Amino acid sequence: ITVDAFKYGKIPHCTAYFLSHFHSDHYNGLTSKWSNGLIYCSTVTGNLVIQKLKVARNFVRKLPMNDEVSIDSNNDITVTLIDANHCPGSALFLFKLKDKSGRIKRYLHTGDFRACPRQVLHSAIVQPQNPAIDILYLDTTYLNPQYCFPAQEQVVNAVIKLIRKAINRGELIPMKRSSGYNGQWRNKQPRLDKSQLALDKCKILIVIGTYLIGKEKVFFGIAKAFRSRIYVTDEKRKMLMCQEIPGIESLLTNDPHQASVHVVSLMSIKSSSLFAYLESLKPTFKYVMAFRPTGWAYKGQKFSSSSTTEEILNTSTPFTIDSITPTFSTSICQIFGVPYSEHSSFRELAAFVLSLNIRKIIPTVNIGSEKSRENMNYWLDNWQKEKDKNKNIKVVPYNTVDHW
DNA sequence: GCGATCAGAT
DNA sequence: CACATCTGATCGC
């Protein structure tokens, strides 16, 4: 069995190639010519592999979420897919492998994930009902105390409030950029009556930067709040159609003038491109507010190596409308980085590891340098020892199953 | 002239 | 600087 290992071509003795989610750094090497073995993944990821990469159908095995399924004739290998909360179709893989003596070994591979209580509450792994996980392969992208961004929901709500504030004003809100020069501001104060309190009426365009797949909750959330349709390219529409979201088609449009919320590539969120974009959409739009959702956008309080586990778990990360500052701001164009992450924060990694009984943890990200491996192991060892002290392991307390 | 690989930008 | 690309240059055939 391998996970996200397509760039090596045929791997000796590998009979099952698993794909955790549809991001290119994970499916790298998978092309229409693939014939090295069966690919196992979620339904959504499978749809994308067939649609986008044109991999032959008979090489793709779409697996259901949450059910334990056997992948060999002897029933010696089973897998259970758990929603990874990363991008649509992303999954954690729980493998159970029976060895020659009949003992079952459990391996949990997180792929890329944003840890949440729902995952550790899954009947296949919840403590204390389940045996220990022998090996956890962990997405350690933000396993560093400086990464303490807020919940996705909080970020989306703050963005909606910021947009509403601009609508109420009838134009963009003058804001200080985090550093450097801002362009000239006009003095005019538009006056709006109530009928004009909508994005299209005040000609404000909302632009969201995304990759091929991911950040859907940001643009669906904004579109819903302001009753706007969503402009996407035909390419992006195809990607979204693979996700089997009910009623999605009436929300999308390929006419940029028919939607106040536009989804574009993250790379086109820069001032030069946005001015040109705005110009091309005259006179439908006069202003543009652009958002780049990314994990590193948060400048909040940080933990240090002296922080106790209790501090880490109990420290919240406040995020409100006032936390949002533009990286670029003129009277017609603003760009905001918002800490909307699809990887676990440092805190969430702590909560995830502390909620499970794990024999051994193998980090899968930031493993290039010795220094970084040492730092990560420091925290992982701390949390593992913490559990040894308390003996009985249980799920770290939470308010909602959606996030710690 | 094509694909593979890599530096660079965002 | 992380992320997950995308673009453009360079290398090999």
CA of A280 to C1' of C10 (A): 35
| Choices 3.30.70.250, 3.90.550.10, 3.40.50.1950, 3.40.50.12650: CATH for A152-338 | 3.40.50.12650
Helices A346-355 & A370-390, crossing angle to 10 degrees? 40
Q: Write out chain A's pLDDT in tens, 404 residues.
A: 999 999 888 888 999 999 999 999 999 989 888 889 999 999 999 999 998 898 999 999 999 999 999 999 888 999 999 999 999 999 999 999 999 999 999 999 999 999 999 999 999 999 999 999 999 999 999 998 888 899 999 999 999 999 999 999 999 999 887 654 455 555 555 555 555 558 877 899 999 999 889 999 999 999 999 999 999 998 899 999 998 888 899 999 999 999 999 999 998 899 888 999 999 999 999 999 999 998 777 766 677 777 888 888 888 888 899 889 899 999 999 999 999 999 999 999 999 999 999 999 999 999 888 888 999 999 999 999 999 887 789 999 999 999 99
State residue A190's pLDDT score.
Answer: 56
Which pair of structure tokens corresponds to residue A128? 């204390």
CATH number of A2-146+346-390: 3.60.15.10
3-state secondary structure of A193: coil
**For residue A283, which phi and psi values (nearest 5 degrees)?**
-95, 15
Query: DSSP secondary-structure letter at A124?
Result: T
Checking each nucleotide's C1' against the CA of A29, the nearest proves to be B4
* Sign of the CA dihedral running A15, A343, A289, A171: positive
Residue intervals in chain A for CATH 3.60.15.10: 2-146+346-390
Nearest protein residue to the C1' atom of C6, measured from CA: A267
Neighbours of A374 (CB within 10 A): 9
Ranges of CATH 3.40.50.12650 domains, chain A: 152-338
Give, in Å, how far the C1' of C4 lies from the CA of A198: 33
How many angstroms is C1' of B4 away from CA of A32?
A: 17
Give the pLDDT score at A178.
66
Name the pTM for this structure.
Answer: 0.92
Which pair of tokens denotes residue A158? 């703050």
Which residue in the block uniquely carries the two structure tokens 């996030």? A403
Q: Residues at the strand B interface (CB under 7 A)? A: A 266-267, 269-270
pLDDT of residue A180: 43
- Residue A118: what pLDDT? 98
Sign of CA dihedral A47, A48, A54, A60: negative
Q: How far apart are CA A67 and CA A94, in angstroms?
A: 10
> Looking at the C1' of nucleotide C7, which residue has the nearest alpha carbon?
A267
Query: Which nucleotide across the nucleic acid strands is nearest to A266, CA versus C1'?
Result: B10
Strand C nucleotides within 7 Å of a protein CB = 1-7
Query: Tokens 């340098």 appear where?
Result: A369
Separation in Å: C9 C1' and A165 CA: 45
Report the C-alpha gap between A382 and A354 in whole angstroms.
10
The distance (Å) linking the CA of A267 with the C1' of B8 is 13
